[in-house]
Amino acid sequence: MVQLILLFQIILKKRFEGYGWNYILINGHNEKEIFKALKNVQKAKKPTVISCKTKIGYGSPNKSGKASAHGSPLGLEEIELVRKALNWNNKPFNIPDKFLKEWRKIGQRCEAQEKKWIKIFNKNKTKFKNIKKNNLIRILKREKRNAILEPKSLATRKCSEMTLNALTNQNHNLIGGSADLAGSNNTKTKHHKIIKPGDFSGDYIHYGVREHGMSGIMNGIALYGNLIPYGGTFLIFSDYCKPSIRLSALMQKRVIYVMTHDSIGLGEDGPTHQPIEQLSGLRSIPNLNVFRPADRVETIECWEHALKSSKTPSILSLTRQSLDPIRKSFTNINKCSLGAYEVLRTNNKINLTILASGSEVNLAIKTGHKLAKDKIYCKVISMPSMELFDLQSKLYKNKILNETKFKISIEAGSSDCWKKYLGSSSLTFGINEFGKSAPYKDIFKHFGLTISNIVSKTKKMIGN
């Protein structure tokens, strides 16, 4: 065992030296070695890892170095033995005066640095104004009008970029970034300035290929105060971000995750990059809003809600493929804030409700028109956010869900999260297996996400 530990230490040392780092191995229980290592780091000209070798349960005669020191309390008798071994005679939770004085000296030593920082902040505080004071509503209303006046088929990742381009022109407290995918997730705009070594005056961070690190850093930025961080990657890589996403929600912080390539619609990158279960998993996290907009107007509204949600993080799940506009007229109401709303009704009297999100809203609308030709009339509901819909009144939810006996859902991902809305007379059109590598239209056909397949199965369900 000792030989294995030594071999591991050698491998670890070579690994970090290969990165171009310094590597220092110390006894983590020796305060003099710790102090010396930290002094060396302060003078170092390259990154340094300090490897502190410690023993779990240090000082415990009977449990030191054992799993029981981790998984269960030491117990009163063992605690007394630890006190004797470490020559510790102070009462529980009592901090000796000599330690308390030293810690307070450290705090006093930093008071001058704090005063210096406050002066810098006050001098530049106009750059960090609250986003509401930066005419957010006016900017987003203008963008919505433009989207209605100039309807185009666009990928929602592009719609997001257009929204960000308008926002970052005036808002300096939006700190953007990407995990080495800025060109794919469209998170960097022409107004951004890169934050880099020696120059921290910018507002965009190239995080490198490190989604987990990016998400942790964004949490730190959000904790700072009035800065609003957003960062981009592919939806499939949300798995790397999950611990930090969960912490964003737990801490009630406004962190915005821009996650593109949100379905099998990304095509030839194949099943390793095609998210299936990710949306269902993310929707199960408490205090997290997962948005899947269907066009440019919905994308703008989802961004608006995300920016206003000061105590809730958000995920914007965006497409690679272009989508036709579904919203034809302007309204001041943020319909996406309702979570779900009607986008098509083929007759006053209907017998079918079609629920869909994101790219599949286009498919649902086309399916609705096709069914109408066979005298099966429906309404199509766009559901960009299940979380926000679940917060609506019982009356509104009944209006959306309970007008018809027959219901279907369409989403290019796991169908589990839709079943709570459907009831017994229903069908789910989704994907509950891994994807395929092919042009995206071929993959949609392979998985039955086509007008003809949905119409055929729906007619059988209704008995037409």
pLDDT, one tens digit per residue, over 156-187 is 999 999 999 999 987 778 999 999 999 999 99
Q: What is the mean pLDDT of residues 112-131?
A: 75
Look up the CATH architecture of domain 130-323: 3-Layer(aba) Sandwich (3.40)
> Choosing from 78, 143, 211, 387, which is the catalytic residue?
211
The yes-or-no verdict on residue 439 having pLDDT over 70 is yes
Q: What is the mean pLDDT of residues 418-441?
A: 95
Q: Are 427 and 364 in contact (CB under 8 A)?
A: no
The yes-or-no verdict on residue 292 having pLDDT over 90 is yes
Global confidence as pTM? 0.85
DSSP per position, 137-162: HHHHHHHHHHHHHS---EEHHHHHHH
Average pLDDT along the chain: 93
The yes-or-no verdict on residue 132 having pLDDT over 70 is no
Q: How many residues are given for the chain? A: 464
Rg (CA), the chain: 28
| Structure-block tokens of residue 97 | 């005066």
The yes-or-no verdict on residue 302 having pLDDT over 90 is yes
Instruction: Look at 44-48, 129-133, 181-185, 440-444 and tell me which has the smallest mean pLDDT.
Output: 129-133
| Residue-level pLDDT at 131 | 52
Q: What confidence tens digit (pLDDT) does each residue in 237-271 have?
A: 999 999 999 999 999 999 999 999 999 999 898 99
In the chain the first and final C-alpha atoms are separated, in Å, by 72
Phi, psi of 83 (to 5 degrees): -60, -45
Amino acid at 142: R
Q: What is the mean pLDDT of residues 204-212?
A: 94
| Residue-level pLDDT at 266 | 92
| Residue-level pLDDT at 122 | 82
| Residue-level pLDDT at 225 | 77
421: helix, strand or coil: helix
- Confidence tier at 2 by pLDDT (50, 70, 90): low
Instruction: Look at 4-18, 176-190, 272-286, 436-450 and tell me which has the smallest mean pLDDT.
Output: 4-18
| Rounded-to-integer distance, Cα 140 and Cα 153, Å | 19
Q: What percent of the chain has pLDDT over 90?
A: 79
Phi, psi of 159 (to 5 degrees): -60, -40
431 burial level (CB within 10 Å; 0-12, 13-18, 19+): buried
Q: What is the mean pLDDT of residues 333-340?
A: 97
| Structure-block tokens of residue 202 | 């910018």
| Residue-level pLDDT at 453 | 98
| Residue-level pLDDT at 133 | 53
Pick among 3.60.21.10, 3.40.50.1970, 3.40.50.920, 3.40.228.10: CATH of 338-462:
3.40.50.920
- Confidence tier at 197 by pLDDT (50, 70, 90): confident
Q: What confidence tens digit (pLDDT) does each residue in 349-362 have?
A: 999 999 999 999 99
Domain with CATH 3.40.50.970 in the chain: 130-323
Domain with CATH 3.40.50.920 in the chain: 338-462
The residues pairing with 22 across neighbouring beta strands, listed in sequence order, are 48
Identify whether 161 is a catalytic site residue.
no
| Residue-level pLDDT at 9 | 82
